[in-house]
Amino acid sequence: MTTLSEHGMILSMKDKLDQKNFFIPAHVRSISDVSGAGDTVIGVASLCLAAQRPPYEIAYISNLAGGLVCEEVGVVPVNKDKLLREVIALL
């Protein structure tokens, strides 16, 4: 999983035969501050991994979470209710 800042994320997966890359676009947001976005992506991805979610879902949800914290000033925790609403609306 590689973050591409305001462009989204690339998820690369390799199986026995070939490598597949998936592009997850960023959602248009009113960006206030990017502080903590990478930490949020890692934290949410880790939580999704612990919940045994599939790789594409992990990348998609952590990408959304990283974008949400960029709408706030400073390093802030992701609002779980807002993240849940966005995941439900977009998946």
Contact at 8 Å (CB) between 29 and 70? yes
DSSP H/E element including 9: strand 8-14
Q: How far apart are CA 16 and CA 9, in angstroms?
A: 23
The catalytic site residues sit at 39
Q: Which residues make beta-bridge pairs with 9? A: 3, 24
Domain hosting residue 7, numbered range = 2-90
Greatest Cα pair distance, the chain, in angstroms, is 45
Q: Is the pTM of this model over 0.85?
A: yes
Residue 67 sits in a domain of what CATH number?
3.40.1190.20
Q: What is the pLDDT along the chain (91 residues), one digit of tens a residue?
A: 999 988 999 999 988 888 999 999 988 888 888 888 999 999 999 999 999 999 999 999 999 999 999 999 999 999 999 999 999 998 7
What domain count does the chain have? 1
